Chains A and B, each alone.
With several copies, the nearest count.
Chain A
């Protein structure tokens, strides 16, 4: 539905889930689905201490806006809100939040899931994962291996 309300944000601010829920509130919506991506304490069996998120910011902002429009074109949603955080995030902090609202619940679940899958393979954001082997002095970092959606030009 082209009348869907869209909100996107990219920046270092702490993600406030209530702001996304407020952004998708709609009297015609009977369902809201909110996804949060969170920094977890492990990856490949190793202890993660923090993750640095960086982006090609102008392009990422443009693609986040495109993504919100694509979600609204593909699913019967009333509103779409997408926020991605940048900078250094501790374990437990949200790096991304996507909320959608719709008259019936199937559309909200499917729209939110499609949006996060698509975001992860199209929006130019990268993460540098910091590990610890348990000794306080150790700090090792590696770029998390990424993926491009198969339909992007090669």
Chain B
């Protein structure tokens, strides 16, 4: 399954500044965890950020092991710092 992953703040920096990265997921059941592993494989900077971020799935926070479907809007979020 191919998914676009939206990246912000430190995660975007870790992906060489790209706001959207397309990943190919080969797991039988693709999850947020699969996305993270795919990003780590491509961008080593993601390794040191492991466990820091959260998964957003269709504009909602969801557990990192949530199953993903084609067409889902997927994003990885660094700890938020608004205000």
Contact = CB atoms under 8 A, between A and B. Distances in A.
Interface of A: 37, 53-56, 58-60, 62, 84, 95-96, 116, 119-128, 143-148, 152-154
17 contacts: A56-B77, A58-B59, A59-B56, A59-B59, A59-B60, A59-B75, A116-B83, A120-B80, A121-B80, A122-B80, A124-B82, A127-B82, A143-B9, A147-B81, A152-B54, A153-B62, A153-B63
Given A37-B83, A116-B83, A56 B78 contact: no
Q: How large is the interface on B (under 10, 10 to 19, 20 to 34, 35 or more residues)?
A: 20 to 34
**Chain A CB within 10 Å, residue with most, of B8, B9, B61, B82:** B82
Interface in B1-55: 6, 8-10, 13, 54-55
B64 interface: yes
Interface of B: 6, 8-10, 13, 54-56, 59-64, 75, 77-83
Contacts of B56: 56, 59, 124
Nearest to B6: A56
Given A148-B54, A153-B62, A154-B54, A56 B75 contact: yes
Nearest to B59: A59
B82 A119 contact: yes
A127 B62 CA distance: 23
A45 B61 CA distance: 34
A76 to B, nearest CB: 19
A125 B9 CA distance: 9
Given A59-B56, A143-B78, A154-B64, A119 B83 contact: yes
B9 A147 contact: no
